[in-house]
Structure 1
Amino acid sequence: MDGQGEEHFIPVARLSDLDERGRAVVRVGEEWVALVQVEGRLHAVQQACPHRGGPLSEGDQDGCLLYCPLHAWAFDVRTGDSPTHPGARVRIYAVRVIGDEIQVAASGRLPVP
């Protein structure tokens, strides 16, 4: 997703920091955020699953769906919505890449229900 308007972006990592799956966990303010690459595009979602706090960055991925490793709750990394548990959502963050530097918007947002 691309930054919009006057978002304040902060540098969080470099492309070389992504693991072989195209993932990393970074700090955005007081929050841990999972960076997830899908088809060459980076997305940022809150790291903790809202169900039991499982580390989403460690879960399986099927396209744009990221599964919590604890109980397999799925979340769409583009929207933050869960197709498997209606009403469950994770915070998403705008991401941009400048050169090798990954920047994430300082304020995340919950998707509109």
Structure 2
Amino acid sequence: MDGHADEHFIPVARLAQLDERGRAVVRVGEEWVALVRVDGRLHAVQQACPHRGGPLSEGDQDGCLLYCPLHAWAFDVRTGDSPTHPGARVRIYAVRVIGDEIQVAASGRLPAP
């Protein structure tokens, strides 16, 4: 069980569409979302950094931290929180994989403060 039975998941990509770093950018409703693989598990976060809109999918990664390529703001892909800028966060989405199809919850959520 994925623990998200009440979520509405939509197909967004296939595993083969992830790049060599295990990333892809997909559309979920009206928002662009970055898919990021960490230790074999996929995470989904809003693509635009809340600071200046930098494309998070293009930033460096250190474990679960994804860095904005513009000003190096870091975000934890598991929680959306920034350890480098307290109070800053990105929207996260539940992800599941069925066969080779990647599905993302249609309603993103912000972690509780």
Interval of TM-score (by shorter of Structure 1 and Structure 2): over 0.9
- Unaligned residue ranges in structure 1 (runs of 5+): none
- Unaligned residue ranges in structure 2 (runs of 5+): none
Report the identity percentage: 93
Measure, in 1, the Cα distance between the counterparts of 2:2 and 2:68: 25
Seen in structure 2, the aligned counterparts of structure 1 residues 2 and 53 have a Cα distance that, compared at 3 Å, is farther
Give the deviation of 1:3 after TM superposition: 4.8
Give the deviation of 1:4 after TM superposition: 1.6
Seen in structure 2, the aligned counterparts of structure 1 residues 112 and 103 have a Cα distance that, compared at 3 Å, is same
Give the deviation of 1:2 after TM superposition: 4.5
SS of the residue corresponding to residue 96 of structure 1 reads strand
Measured against aligned partners, the alpha-carbon deviations of 1:74-104 in whole angstroms (never above 9, x if no partner) come to 0000000000000000000000000000000
SS of the residue corresponding to residue 13 of structure 1 reads strand
SS of the residue corresponding to residue 109 of structure 1 reads coil
Indicate the RMSD between aligned Cα atoms, in angstroms.
1.3
What TM-score results when the alignment is normalised by the length of structure 1?
0.97
Report if aligned partners of 1:2, 1:95 keep a CA contact under 8 Å in 2.
Answer: no
Measure, in 1, the Cα distance between the counterparts of 2:22 and 2:75: 17
Seen in structure 2, the aligned counterparts of structure 1 residues 30 and 56 have a Cα distance that, compared at 3 Å, is same
Give the deviation of 1:5 after TM superposition: 3.1
Runs of 4+ with deviation above 6 angstroms = none
Measure, in 2, the Cα distance between the counterparts of 1:100 and 1:49: 28
Report if aligned partners of 1:3, 1:95 keep a CA contact under 8 Å in 2.
Answer: no
SS of the residue corresponding to residue 26 of structure 1 reads strand
Measure, in 2, the Cα distance between the counterparts of 1:98 and 1:60: 28
Measured against aligned partners, the alpha-carbon deviations of 1:30-77 in whole angstroms (never above 9, x if no partner) come to 000000000000000000000000000000000000000000000000
Give the deviation of 1:27 after TM superposition: 0.1
Q: Which moved more, 1:2-11 or 1:30-39?
A: 2-11
